[in-house]
Chains A and B, each alone.
Chain A
Amino acid sequence: MIHQYKLNGYNIVVDVFSGSVHVVDDASYDAIAMKDAGMDDAAVKAELVKKSVSEQDAEDILSDIAELADAGKLFSKDIYALHAFDFKKRSTVVKALCLHVAHTCNLNCDYCFAAQGKFHGEAGLMSFDTGKRALDFLVENSGTRRNLEVDFFGGEPLLNFQVCRDLVAYARSIEKEKGKNFRFTLTTNGIGITDEVIEWANRECYNVVLSLDGRKETNDRFRKDIGGTGSYDRIVPKFKEFVKRRGGRGYYMRGTFTHYNPDFTKDLFHMADELGFDQLSMEPVVAAPSDPVALTPEDIEVVKEQYEILAKDMIRREKEGKPITFYHYMLDLAGGPCIYKRISGCGSGTEYMAVTPWGDLYPCHQFVGDERWKLGDVWNGVTNTALRDEFKLCNVYAKPECQECWAKLYCSGGCAANAMHASGDIHGVYKEGCEVFKKRIECALMMKAAEANL
């Protein structure tokens, strides 16, 4: 299977199953399309000559195509489905936890998928004992895996900062003995950032995710406190100080765009140009289609155009020596994920789980609050093994709608939670999400072509 597209002056051909990416001239682009449609070499050559391609060039192109096909880099077949990985028997270990240390929040954002931090349930803070047990559960169930990831999440995790500190101290006290390396991350709305938080996070967290939606009017439309006051003026100075003192360690300014700002590059460029942040991530809102904030089909078209604007602008910035990073455009083509990862996806429900303040386990943070998706708890482990197996089997080959999609080994079948919210089934797909994803990959690959000066 191949995918061909033109973007920003580049003709790009993606060979789906080998992972190869080719940048081609116009004649080759047409020739590859004709070969893909089943035409033989003589017919392709005749068509090319009709389009004023010289006989010699036509022969060279056909020779190049044949060489690539023989090398398995063009028109490659799907050998992975035939391998029929037995995913149910596949041994999996737990390697990451999303620790919901606080089911409460000091903001009251209208669009919050977590229902203002309470996940449609009771407010609560995780105790140290529950968190400690969660870390022990992670170590006990991580097999030989060395790197273990823990994200402090909520709600707003800084409302339970002391427990975060104590849990990191506990993890550091056992990691040598257990042969593990804990990698902590923090996701925060910024309200609770203090010097003490900055000093701790810069020492202990290899990445921090800082929530800011962009321009003041965009951010303050939804990111308000209980009294209805926007957060921008309070959080921006704190974020600037945080990032300045981060000293090159990982961070992401993480924004959400909605029906009210599908032209989200204006917000991204505000964060880059007026606030000085250079590691950026903007994500479409997670909302029911009936929600006023949800992106409409018309918005999706605007969003796709925005991704192209962003890609072209990032190429310009790179040339000018002032690059910015956009999470979804960070592709490492030579050092990216192996085929096992590409087929099995994010690991929700098997390798990755969320822990509520009361120690309950869910497949990921987006399933928390709906008892149907409870896997077990940190004391008794995964007791709903049928549900875990359902997630284990939920890979890209288990999704009928993904079979003919060129992007399936880039998205791995997409996000199970998004699929569930959109279709009611984790084996479904979130069609609008697919459209957005494919556009992002097309842009990211085009940027790779530009980077290679082709």
Chain B
Amino acid sequence: HIQTLETRDMVKSLENGGCGECQTSCQSACKTSCGIANQQCENAEK
């Protein structure tokens, strides 16, 4: 009935996130929209 995609746990990232090493998104490709959603995190909880 319900299938759940694997996603990063936002609540956990409250404890483990915020290192700031991710790429500045606006530099990625388009320079006209921020694209935060398209970011990757090297330190995401596995």
Contacts and interface: CB of A to CB of B under 8 A. Distances in A.
A332 B36 contact: no
A80 B14 CA distance: 8
Nearest to A61: B1
Nearest to B23: A149
Contacts of A347: 24
B36 A333 contact: no
A349 to B, nearest CB: 11
A3 B26 CA distance: 26
Interface of B: 1-11, 13-14, 16-18, 20-41, 44
Contact of A95 (B6, B20, B31, B35): B20
Contacts of A415: 26, 32-34
Interface stretch (A38-46, A64-72, A191-199, A269-277): A64-72
B4 A335 contact: no
Contact of B1 (A19, A64, A147): A64
A207 B34 contact: no
Nearest to B42: A335
Contacts of A452: 3, 5
A266 B15 CA distance: 45
Given A19-B7, A283-B33, A333-B7, 16 more contacts: A20-B4, A28-B2, A61-B1, A76-B11, A83-B14, A252-B28, A284-B32, A286-B32, A330-B38, A336-B7, A336-B41, A337-B17, A341-B36, A352-B24, A364-B26, A452-B5
A209 B31 contact: yes
A331 B37 contact: yes
Nearest to A211: B31
A345 B34 contact: yes
Contacts, number: 195
Contacts of A449: 5
A327 B38 contact: yes
Contacts of B11: 18, 72, 76, 79, 339
Given A83-B14, A339-B13, A327 B29 contact: yes
Given A338-B44, A348-B26, A411-B36, A60 B5 contact: no
Of B13, B24, B41, the most chain A CB neighbours within 10 A belong to B24
B34 A151 contact: no
B29 A252 contact: yes
A332 B26 CA distance: 17
Contact of B21 (A27, A98, A146, A209): A146
B1 A335 contact: no
A265 to B, nearest CB: 16
Contacts of A332: 39-40
Contacts of A334: 6-8, 44
B27 A185 contact: yes
A399 interface: no
Nearest to B6: A334
B36 A412 contact: yes
Given A327-B38, A410-B37, A411-B37, A22 B4 contact: yes
A82 to B, nearest CB: 11
Contact of B24 (A76, A346, A441): A346
A412 B21 CA distance: 17
Contacts of A110: none
B25 A365 contact: no
A106 B9 CA distance: 47
A414 interface: yes
A352 B8 contact: no
A339 B34 contact: no
Given A23-B5, A61-B2, A336-B8, A147 B21 contact: yes
B5 A281 contact: no
Contact of A411 (B23, B34, B41): B34
B26 A346 contact: yes
Interface in A235-266: 252, 254
Nearest to B16: A338
Given A336-B8, A415-B32, A437-B33, A149 B24 contact: yes
Contacts of A145: 20-21
Contacts of A189: none
Closest 8 interchain pairs by CB?
Answer: A338-B17, A96-B24, A338-B13, A340-B18, A346-B34, A410-B37, A19-B10, A327-B29
A328 interface: yes
B39 to A, nearest CB: 4
A361 B9 CA distance: 36
